[in-house]
Structure 1
């Protein structure tokens, strides 16, 4: 099973410090959620760093997603998230029905003295990727109306 980042559309009255408890209680039953493969998040991560967000332990806004923890995307971040995700939807919509993206560079040892670097590739289904990104864009649209937040749970 691959690692996954989860995104939830939640009511805005949830406090950041309560997110983990909320997540533990609602992870499997909440209907407004979407999971994105970790390799895909890493692939688009440079553009996610443009998104204003909030994370636990920080009193001021920061940018991007907390890779290992909880991130809240509020009204101001939702507008930028919407723009970024729509751009990726356009790009991935142009992909073949099955496509591969470069992932990790790993060291492969052949014996005690020899080895080489190998690039890993992850295969994706275009329709599933586009569908999941459209869900996130819908979460961002709703969040811009001011009654919700997007909760991101990292790996």
Structure 2
């Protein structure tokens, strides 16, 4: 089973209190996308620039970036930065070959005497571009002020 980050476009009238528990059978989910954890980790530094809120904490405080292991809420204040970041990554990845490789996290050898190495992450260019285009469209919907983008971390 691969780890993924789930993104759900929901109406702003949705009670966000328990969205994460009922997200797969929730009538207020308008659209959704899952992005593999390896790709999220690769672009994580830039995601930290996106204004966000943490619905898991009392008062849903504002912050930046995604709650990696939990919930994150993006609203119309997030839209411009979210669109710009994913558009920039999309433009960059358009230059990649059909199957491309990125350098992942450092993994230590299994035995004490083995050296470690960086994990090799392999992606399909067109699939990544399609995912980013969908997130961009969701960001454009956010800009209207009538929706939230709800993120469920791993």
Question: Structure 2 length as normaliser, TM-score?
Answer: 0.91
Q: Secondary structure at the match of 2:115?
A: strand
Aligned to 2:82: 81
Q: Secondary structure at the match of 2:132?
A: helix
- Asked if the contact 1:19/1:70 (under 8 Å) is kept, the reply is no
Q: Secondary structure at the match of 1:109?
A: coil
Aligned to 2:19: 19
Give CA deviations for 1:61-94 in whole Å, capped at 9, x if unaligned: 1100000111110000111101110000101111
Alpha-carbon deviation of 1:7?
0.8
Q: Secondary structure at the match of 2:77?
A: helix
Give runs of aligned pairs for residues 2-151 of structure 1, distance below 5 A.
Answer: 2-26=2-26, 32-55=31-54, 56-57=56-57, 59=59, 60-110=61-111, 113-151=112-150
Give distance in 2, aligned partners of 1:34 and 1:20.
14
Give distance in 2, aligned partners of 1:7 and 1:82.
14
- Asked if the contact 2:11/2:30 (under 8 Å) is kept, the reply is no
Alignment length, in residue pairs? 151
Give distance in 1, aligned partners of 2:15 and 2:134.
23
> Structure 1 unaligned runs (5+)?
none
- Asked if the contact 1:103/1:121 (under 8 Å) is kept, the reply is yes
Q: Secondary structure at the match of 1:35?
A: strand
Q: Secondary structure at the match of 2:119?
A: strand
> Structure 2 unaligned runs (5+)?
none
- Asked if the contact 1:73/1:151 (under 8 Å) is kept, the reply is yes
